[in-house]
Amino acid sequence: MRKVWDIPGGVHPPENKAQSVTRPIASAGIPDVLIYPLSQHIGAAAVPLVEKGDLVLKGQMIAEAMGFVSAPVHAATSGRVTAIEERVIAHPSGMHAPCIVIEPDGENRWIEHSGLEDYTSATPAELLSIIHDAGVAGMGGAGFPSAVKLSTRPDTPIHTLIINGTECEPYITSDDMLMRERADEIVRGTEIIAHILGVSSIIIGVEDNKPEGIASLRSAAEHSAGIEVISFPTKYPSGGEKQLIQILTGQEVPSGGLPSALGIVCQNLGTTVAVHHAVDRGEPLISRIITVTGDSCREPANYEVLLGTPASHLLELSGQQPELCERLIMGGPMMGFALESAEVPVVKTTNCLLAPTRAELPPAAPQQACIRCGICAEACPASLLPQQLFWYATAKEYEKLEAHNLFDCIECGACSFVCPSNIPLVQYYRASKADIRRHHLDHERSERSRARFESRQQRIEQEEAEKQARRQARREAAQARAKEAGTKQPSRSDAAPDAADVIRAAIERSQAKKQAAAAQSQAQADMGIEPDSAQDAIDRAMAKRAAAAAAPKLSPVEQLQNNLASVQSRISKTGEKLEQARTTGEDTVSILESSVAKLEAKRDQILAEIEELGDS
Amino acid sequence: MYELIAQYPFMAAILALVGLGMAFGSLLGFAAIRFRTEGDPIADQINAILPQTQCGQCGFPGCRPYAEAIADGEAINKCPPGGEATINDLATLLDVEPMPLDEEHGEEKPRAVAYIREDECIGCTKCIQACPVDAILGAAKLMHTVIASECTGCDLCVEPCPVDCIDMITEETTLQTWKWPLPARVPRELVIATDAEQAA
């Protein structure tokens, strides 16, 4: 017989388990609607594989795992996808999250599936991929993807497998009923997990308040070597992973460490059944056992429930009277959370729906001042100092909280349970943990922005320095040039002309230029060459027009005669130019010839007009 | 030697003290040079606590200058982005009493991230120049966008935008960021029966 250790602290709340073990596990049937949150586990949310309107079969994967620490989601019955939308999910925040909604068609048709004939011939890697694809996630509470938990690393060899059948929380009996009715399935699943891990020592730990379950398990495990079923005294919270390891092995999981550091892997009882179904039958995780209990239920019992079933369907089955029930709790009275709506679907981690009456589970009494009685410290299973943590939590002294190992708190609620001042201690710790995580995240972020800010400052300074350097270089170059010029004309700086000199020189220069121009035009006139610049031509044309305007109105005949004279002069001029061009052999000859012809035609026309006028 | 000391005890004592003084003085002098600390370590520690939004709401041009000012005795409650948590941390570090946030410099707001309405962005690069942490990406006459993970929510890019296309979007609570609230304080009337009677 294996020695059983004790854990520090712990409490003995009323068990209230007897109500729900009187009836065998019943099927909850197929509800009107199934709702599948994409995130039912710890890790990345799954990604939908179906679209609205798709037909799905029982066991079909409707959302695939996203990354390593994630799990797929499967349809629990055949039907049609009616929506992929935000719905209220099982979360203490009561927030909405993306869900796949399926309307069952009632045919319950399975997708083609088959299990392994002999799991011992499969390698651990193959078995792990089967478990991963079946969407198995820890069914005890946290919902950590089982395939990830079972993937051992070579540097941390595992020697012991612990199956957690403690179920220490009041009211919950789903694991107890599983042991009573399906012990052989538990043993089979345990063997598969042991094969994957390659461990020699397998312990199934059960509290001694479940004698039927223990007996049933012992008889099922009789023929399988290496499986020990250990019972130990009932105490809350023996079912915590770290607490159970301490009870069964006497070893403490180091603060911030994992059980694998001790060579131990811990799995929930329900998970072993899911593994057995996945490997031996090829069935994914689509249903689980859920305890529906509380005094407002006429028939508290355990049901085999399709995942995705709304809580309201289960409550109806158990004959719950909503008028008696003030708040609906998912999970147990110690660690569960209140649901905002009964339409919340059950997920892989749901083990209990508690619908207590007001008398049974009265609302928390008002919080009073801490009287430093220290009972909470005696109750704490992690040997923390709850009253001190409470003090620091109210003062928001995060460093002190961390120094007092707040993160080793398992949030079991034993301290709140014993507190004579009704202080909701766990709520303070939860809020503080979130604040500290947030604080760390903010700090990380601020470090990053500081680095970015500093590198930006540096860059700007560098740019500025470069600009300065370039400016300096240009200035120096200019000075060097000036110096060079200075050496070539040494008198220049000496004979720095004053402003008046400069102006005078400029005036002289312009006068000289004017004189030169006048002389040139004079010479041109002397040589008989008209300056044929465009300006001159314009001037002449304007003068001519002005003269024409100034001249008294001529008769048409006179006008024509004038025209004739000008045309004739132009002919003679052009003729001269033509002669000149011909003698020099310029290529304007043809142009000049054509213009002469045109002018002669014009002259003839004018002559004809004059004759006409003369006739009339 | 002994006789000499016995003969002039007063002189011997003075000599001995002067000798010791010189020896330790030179030791300290050497240590002061040899083990000199670069920069201002307390300002560095303060700077590490400040949220590094570089928003300038404290009246200093960035977190570092404010950290240096605090090290020189400036009030610790002028940082709205850091809020109560930063003030508490600073109070712990400097061993002073925590004080409420100075409202003159702004109030503590939930974290926000700048968002550029990209259709309206004209690509003027003014916000890029304003961003103290280089969290805006873009080029002249090309659309800009904010790298949300690097944005400190300092607001400095909003004002220079000529077309007003930058919004500050408050971070919304998601399932991942949701946290349990601290329990609310219970009024005395609910706890003490006589108080409740008086209140009624």
Q: Are residues A333 and A401 in the same domain?
A: no
Is there a domain that residue B197 lies in? no
Is B191 within the bounds of a domain? no
The range of the structural domain enclosing residue B162 comes to 112-170
Residues A67 and A187 in one domain: yes
**A480 lies within 8 A of chain B by CB:** no
Pair (A376, A348) in one structural domain: no
Give A492's pLDDT tier (boundaries 50, 70, 90): very low
Question: Does one domain contain both A402 and A312?
Answer: no
Out of B47, B85, B183, whose CB is closest to A427? Answer: B183
CB spacing of A450 vs B134 below 8 angstroms: no
- Closest partner residue to A431 (CB to CB) among B135, B175, B180 is B180
Question: Would you say residue A184 has pLDDT above 90?
Answer: yes
In A, which residues are within 8 Å of B48 by CB distance? 447
Q: Do residues B132 and B150 both lie within one domain?
A: yes
From chain A, the residues in CB contact with B182 under 8 A are 393-394, 427-428, 431-432
Domain assignment present for A522: no
Helix and strand element counts for chain A (H, E): 18, 17
Residues A146 and A271 in one domain: yes
The answer on pLDDT for A570 being more than 90 is no
Residue A523 lies in a domain: no
What's the pLDDT score for residue A493?
A: 46
Q: Are residues B12 and B61 in the same domain?
A: no
Task: Report d(CA A160, CA A249) in Å as an integer.
Answer: 10
How much is the mean pLDDT over chain B?
A: 88
Residue from B44, B52, B90, B171 to probe the interface with A (highest A Cβ count within 10 Å) = B52
Chain A CB contacts of B114 under 8 Å are: none
Report the C-alpha gap between A449 and A440 in whole angstroms: 14
Contacts of A364 in chain B (CB under 8 A): none
In this model, does residue A554 exceed pLDDT 70?
Answer: no
Identify whether residues B124 and B97 lie together within a single domain: no
For the full predicted model, state whether its pTM sits above 0.80. no
Residue A488: pLDDT over 70: no
- Contact flag A397-B190 (C-beta cutoff 8 Å): no
Cα(A276)–Cα(A139) distance, rounded to whole angstroms?
Answer: 14
CA atoms of A579 and A577, how far apart (whole Å): 5
Residue where a domain terminates, one of B80, B105, B130? B105
Same domain? For A481 and A587 the reply is: no
CB within 8 A of A43, min separation 6: which ones?
A67, A69, A70, A71, A144, A145, A148
The model's confidence at residue B108, banded by pLDDT at 50, 70 and 90, is confident
Q: Is the pLDDT of residue B167 over 60?
A: yes
Residue B178 domain-assigned (yes or no):
no
Confidence of residue A404 (pLDDT cuts 50, 70, 90): very high
- The answer to whether residue B62 neighbours chain A at the CB level (below 8 Å) is yes
CATH code: domain of residue A463: 1.10.1060
| pLDDT at residue A489, rounded to an integer | 59
Q: Do A397 and B88 lie within an 8 Å CB cutoff? A: yes
- At A210 the three-state DSSP class reads coil
Same domain, B118 and B152: yes
How far is B172 from A85, CA to CA, in rounded Å?
19
CB contact under 8 A, A456 and B53: no
Q: How many domains does chain A have?
A: 3
Choose one of B78, B105, B132: the last residue of a domain. Answer: B105
CB atoms < 10 A from the CB of A67, how many?
A: 10
Residues 6+ apart with CB under 8 A from B155: B55, B114, B168
Condensed to tens digits (0 to 9), the pLDDT of residues A571-599 reads: 888 888 888 877 777 667 777 888 888 88
Both tokens assigned to A17? 């388990």
User: Which stretch of A306-315, A377-386, B186-195 has the lowest confidence by average pLDDT?
Assistant: B186-195
Examine the domain organization and report whether A390 and A348 are in the same domain. no
Per-residue pLDDT band at A472 (split at 50, 70, 90):
very high
Return residues 358-377 of A near B (CB < 8 Å): 366-368
Q: What mean pLDDT do residues B141-164 have?
A: 91
On whether residue A202 sits in a domain, the answer given is: yes
Residue B93 lies in a domain: yes
Q: What CATH code is carried by the domain that includes residue B83? A: 1.10.15.40
Count how many domains chain B has. Answer: 3
Same structural domain for residues B121 and B71? no
Q: Are strands A328-330 and B112-116 parallel, antiparallel or unpaired?
A: unpaired
Q: Is residue A431 part of a domain?
A: yes
Q: What is the per-residue pLDDT for A555?
A: 66
**Has residue A479 got a pLDDT over 60?**
yes
Mean pLDDT rounded to a whole number for chain A: 87
The radius of gyration of chain A from alpha carbons, rounded to an integer in Å, stands at: 51
- pLDDT beyond 80 at A361: yes
Q: Are A124 and A130 in contact (CB under 8 A)?
A: no
Same domain? B135 vs B155: yes
Say which residues have a Cβ less than 8 Å from residue A53's Cβ, sequence separation at least 6: A80, A81
- CB-CB neighbors (< 8 A) of A450 in chain B: 47, 52, 63
Whether residue A336 is found in the same domain as residue A377? no
B187 falls within a domain: no
Residue A426 in domain = yes
**Does residue A480 sit within a domain?**
yes
Last residue of a domain, one of A446, A465, A485: A485
Average pLDDT of span B162-178: 87
**Residue numbers in A near B53 (CB within 8 A):** 446, 449
The CB density around residue A327, as the number of other CB atoms within 10 Å, is 14
User: Cβ contacts of residue A550 below 8 Å, gap of 6+?
Assistant: none
| Domain shared by A342 and A393, yes or no | no
Percent of chain A with pLDDT strictly greater than 70: 92
Q: Name the DSSP class of A449.
A: H
- Please tell me the distance from the alpha carbon of residue A281 to that of residue A113, in angstroms, as a whole number: 8
Give the nearest partner residue to B186 out of A89, A367, A430, using CB atoms. Answer: A367
Is A537 inside a domain boundary?
no
Average pLDDT over residues A35-57: 89
In angstroms, the CA A243 to CA A169 distance is 13
A399/B92 CB distance under 8 A = yes
Buried b (16+ CB within 10 A) or exposed e, A361-382: beeeeebbebeeeebbbebbbb
pLDDT in tens, B26-58: 999 999 998 887 777 889 899 989 988 888 888
The answer to whether residues B72 and B120 belong to one domain is no
In a domain, B199, yes or no: no
| Domain containing residue A285 | 18-106+122-354
Say which residue the tokens 């949030």 belong to. A411
Contact A318, A292 (CB under 8 A): yes
- Chain B closest-CA separation from residue A339 CA (Å): 14
Task: Look at residues A354, A382, A399 and tell me which one is the last residue of a structural domain.
Answer: A354
In which element (H, E) is residue A403 found? helix A398-403
Please give the backbone phi and psi of residue A442, each rounded to the nearest 5 degrees, phi first: -60, -40
Residues A248 and A395 in one domain: no
Q: Is there a domain that residue B81 lies in? A: yes
Report yes or no on A263 lying in a domain: yes
Residue A79 DSSP code:
E
Express each pLDDT in A81-123 by its tens digit: 999 999 998 888 888 899 999 999 988 899 998 888 888 899 9
Q: CB atoms < 10 A from the CB of B12, how many?
A: 14
- Which CATH number goes with the domain that contains A84? 3.40.50.11540
Co-location of A375 and A331 in the same domain: no
Indicate if A143 and A281 belong to the same structural domain: yes
Last-in-domain residue among A453, A485, A517: A485
Residue B79 domain flag: yes
Number of A to B CB contacts under 8 A, please give it.
Answer: 84
